[in-house]
Amino acid sequence: MLYLTFKYLHVTCVILSISGFCVRGVLLLQKSALAGRHKQWNGEWHGGRPWLRALPHINDSLLLAAAIGLAVVLEQYPFVNGWLTAKIFGLLAYILLGALALKPGRDPCVRITAGIAAVAVFGWIVSVALSKHPAGFLA
């Protein structure tokens, strides 16, 4: 029962995480007022909605807690199980690419390229999780 609770929480947070990333990316490219910080036409920074900026952090914290819970329940740990280690390194790449894609003031081409790369890495992380193989869909 505990396993299923952690698994469903983790999968739900994963779906919310990638959906939120894509929505924020589109909003930033459109320079929407709902997006995070961006320059307005007059050169001033606009902060976006505080609750909208806080949601990804809350979701990602739940996602991490569920992942740790799953690792403990399944007794599978990073640096012991290759596929889990690969997921950790993939997560770090996803975070760096995502930060580059969502950082205000960057060239739109750089943001789009980083965003596409982040989504590709995300897909690879999911394939590693589903196959339990360190190479995921690259195998």
Phi/psi at 39 (5° precision): -80, 135
Q: pTM of the predicted model, to two decimals? A: 0.84
Within 8 A by CB and 6+ apart from 76, the residues are 84
For residue range 57-99, what is the model confidence (pLDDT) as tens digits? 899 999 999 999 999 999 998 899 899 999 999 999 999 999 9
Residue extents of the structural domains in the chain: 2-138
Per-position DSSP letters for 22-63, written without gaps between them: HHHHHHHHTT-TTSSSEE-TTS-EE---HHHHHHHHHHHHHH
